[in-house]
Structure 1
């Protein structure tokens, strides 16, 4: 009869002291995990087995039940198929084997213990002597990963975040007023909104991944809520047209005036891309730490985007010059700057490495010193590239999670 996981010792026999495992293969159709100290048999369950370098084995049951048998050599006459009805009794050197039945939420550890005396090889009648193993309760909680995390995709989309998403979606059609941090749930029918700067960085209460927004101007400008500032922005007209917008700025009443999102023959408003439309003068700061807290299994490694000025005014040689500036800051430090750009500059590729210590990412546009008229600055495919964090592995250990039947899974050392 199976015993509870209390301290029980038994003889573990081996024909050779150098044999990697003393346990015989199991003649059973049930799924089993075989280690140097134990055989764990699946009786219809979900369970985990962890094997340390010295062969000590910890078993934990998430659902159902398993049979843990230590030092198994041969089976009784009833055969292994009886496991589905009752725990099998195995024989080790003429002594009854000890077995433990585990159910959901239970764990047991089977480990070797050093003998305190020496016995002759005939003491157990087989000429085979080895150490002793013991059933004990684990001293630490189970460390099994029941599900292997997989990335939905290899980046977080900042346009999705501005529209209220978590970065893994394709939300569009929402925006933020850079004047006060107000969230816009729909685009206005006409382009009448003119915002004015007040030299402050405004929080966006509804969006936890965004630290603040602002209208850049010359002088000392705040970039984030932690006190980061810059004096690099040139003097602007301190106004901003329209909003920080996720997606294309569409003129419903005059579709022909809809803002272009084309850069180098790519339409970043198309379904396979994304765009942050940011006509000057605008700034937005993302809170990388908040994003990390919500995605603890991933590491943010870089920021990438394709930026430019999609204005069409420069096509007319008789028109006045159009120009604007693009900026990227990390924790208040300027990491990208391109000034005086228009459509003739085409697409500008941005690729900025990010470290785990980087907290704030700021994107900004300024008017180039000649007003905001006809400047259609944007960041196409603004993305935080991510990768899975490496799981810490204890040297010499191995783990196995099973939900299957019908095969044996030896854990090799």
Structure 2
């Protein structure tokens, strides 16, 4: 990169100070003004932080307490030569060792970068380097979750052979769900919804299938091609709503409420026993010998077709935990989980000992499956022109690592300790104990937003459903687990401050923030007044320094306070 002719030496000096962590608050504001008003200054700023981040990242990889010698020589050069030599240094280090484009963020005590920019403002070409297609690829299907428990009646009693779901109540292929009392709704990531009626044993055999071992289920499948197996029958749904029950002698009863179901015997019989198609209002029984009786009468009222809507409702409040978990019908679930680099429901495993892995910046991602949630995003590493909502609003944020750890999630408060999963199978290794302890003290629940990530709610969707928000309030905390994490490098851990920032925007305008807070700072309140004209509510967590590890930021009991009918 050659020297930009229209960038003043004063601006270059400010960039140097920012990189060297010596810039004052006043000069920080001056630097922001410069890059706001000059595309060339913006380009040089972005490039400078990219180069600096590469060199410092390499220093960490080499387990060195100082910048590598080649970087020291670059830093010692006059300002007008620094970037050319730094680029050469980058190439040399890259050829010798190989490294990723992870950035380094300067610490700061002000919030000068949290300002709105127009969506049409200049964007540096380097924006594209944050998107790592390889990182965005999904793990093999065998390790993916296939469904999650979304709703249940009160007082559910689980069977002793029931598999434990993960923290977000997701189940894998081959997991057995066994309930002795109550009802549970299971939602497949492919769209099928299955209600289990106790007593019941059901196995999630794949992304589009399940095995009923005892009891009865009700299914609703919009796209069709969902299969339920029993000891005597093979039931293929063609896009419908149906009920299947299995009695003690392995007779299978099928009733179709809507659409079409294809029923086939699981036994090799003579050619006269052919598959049967059932449509609206029709029933059939497949007995334990595989014979199909289309005249058998079935009590359709034994099947519950829906579970009541469950909320964490408090008078004149609406929980964001519920809104985050909503499906396309607007129904709330016990948990929500979204991949911040795609906007889709996250099916990826926690990867046990290694945690869920990094996700890299991929721009603003719409969440079409949730009417209340406008979208999610991971801020780019240099933090400029970050789009935060579907209308194209962009803001400036501080430089970060340009990545986050695992999905964005929500979980409703529950007294069910067995839902905790294992300590290793979680968002951040060894954090589960802290999260569960705090979750059990919540009124509504929590949303997990590990730095660096943002999520935006559509307030107009709330109004369309007859409710008028007047205020957003929550408590935020950093459940940093660095003290519990086992490491052989105690000096490295002791030398770092694991802190994070949280900012709240309304339509791109910064309304509230809590900056540079650690686990020792405890729980910090956030509140924002909402007017009738406000459309998008955005909450962003970022790392507050040079490292994003252990920044396990949560929103505790986040709610929208609602206007009463007489206001």
TM-score normalised per structure 1: 0.51
Corresponding residue number in structure 2 for 1:173? 335
How much has 1:305 moved relative to structure 2?
Answer: 0.1
* Greater RCO, CA 8 A, separation 6+: 1
Give the distance between the partners of 2:500 and 2:434, measured in 1 at CA: 16
Distance 2:443 2:565 in 1: 27
Q: Note closer, same or farther for the CA distance 1:252–1:266 as it changes in structure 2 (3 Å cut).
A: closer
- SS of match in other structure, 1:161: helix
Residue 462 of structure 2 corresponds to residue 291 of structure 1: yes
Indicate the structure with greater strand content: 1
Equivalent residues of 2:479, 2:553 under 8 A apart: yes
Distance of aligned partners of 1:276 and 1:187 in 2 relative to their CA distance in 1, 3 Å threshold: farther
Return the alpha-carbon distance in structure 2 between the equivalents of residues 390 and 281 of structure 1. Answer: 40
In the alignment, is the contact (CA less than 8 A) between 2:456 and 2:536 conserved in 1? Answer: yes
- Residue 404 (structure 2) aligns with: 240
Rounded to whole Å, the distance in 2 between the matches of 1:301 and 1:266 is: 30
Match of 1:278 in 2: 449
Spell out the pairing of 1:313-332 with structure 2 (5 A cutoff). 313=482, 318=494, 320-332=496-508
| CA-CA distance at 1:375 after TM superposition | 1.1
Structure-to-structure mapping, 1:3-402, within 5 angstroms: 153-164=315-326, 171-184=333-346, 188=350, 190=352, 191-198=355-362, 200-217=363-380, 218-231=383-396, 233-247=397-411, 252=422, 254=424, 257-259=429-431, 267-270=438-441, 272-294=443-465, 296=466, 298-313=467-482, 318=494, 320-390=496-566
Quick one: distance in 1 between partners of 2:566 and 2:430?
45
Change (3 A) 1:367 1:269: farther
SS in 2 for 1:234: coil
| Structure (1 or 2) with the larger CA radius of gyration | 1
User: Structure 1 residues 234 and 152, CA, compared in 2 at 3 Å: closer, same or farther?
Assistant: closer
Unpaired runs of at least 5, structure 2: 1-312, 413-418, 485-489
Any conservation in 2 of the 1:299–1:389 contact (CA below 8 Å)? Answer: no
What do you get for the CA RMSD once the two structures are aligned? 3.2
State the Cα deviation string for residues 209-239 of structure 1 (Å, max 9, x = none): 11111001311111111121111x1111111
- What is the CA–CA distance in structure 1 between the aligned matches of 2:346 and 2:378, rounded to whole Å? 17
Residue 160 of structure 1, CA deviation: 1.4
Distance 2:446 2:440 in 1: 6
TM-fit CA distance, 1:324: 1.1
Shift of 1:178: 0.8
Distance 1:189 1:335 in 2: 37
| Conserved? CA contact 1:285–1:362, under 8 Å | yes
Specify which structure has the higher proportion of helix: 2
Q: CA deviation at 1:161?
A: 1.6
Q: Deviation string for 1:134-190 (max 9, x for gaps)?
A: xxxxxxxxxxxxxxxxx8632111111212269998733321111010113686453
- Note the residue ranges of structure 1 that are not aligned, 5 or more in a row: 1-150, 392-413
SS at match of 2:464: helix
- Which whole-Å CA distance do the structure 2 matches of 1:261 and 1:307 have between them? 18
Q: Deviations over 1:20-43 (max 9, x none)?
A: xxxxxxxxxxxxxxxxxxxxxxxx
Q: 1:210 to 1:201 in 2, by over 3 A?
A: same
Q: CA deviation at 1:348?
A: 0.8
Mapped partners of 2:433, 2:395: distance in 1: 29
Distance 2:314 2:369 in 1: 24
Contact conserved, 1:250 with 1:259, CA < 8 A, in 2? no
Distance 1:166 1:154 in 2: 24
Whole-angstrom CA distance in 1 between matches of 2:475 and 2:328: 21
The number of residue pairs the alignment matches comes to 236
Q: CA deviation at 1:321?
A: 1.7
Measured against aligned partners, the alpha-carbon deviations of 1:184-218 in whole angstroms (never above 9, x if no partner) come to: 368645323321103x2110010011111100131
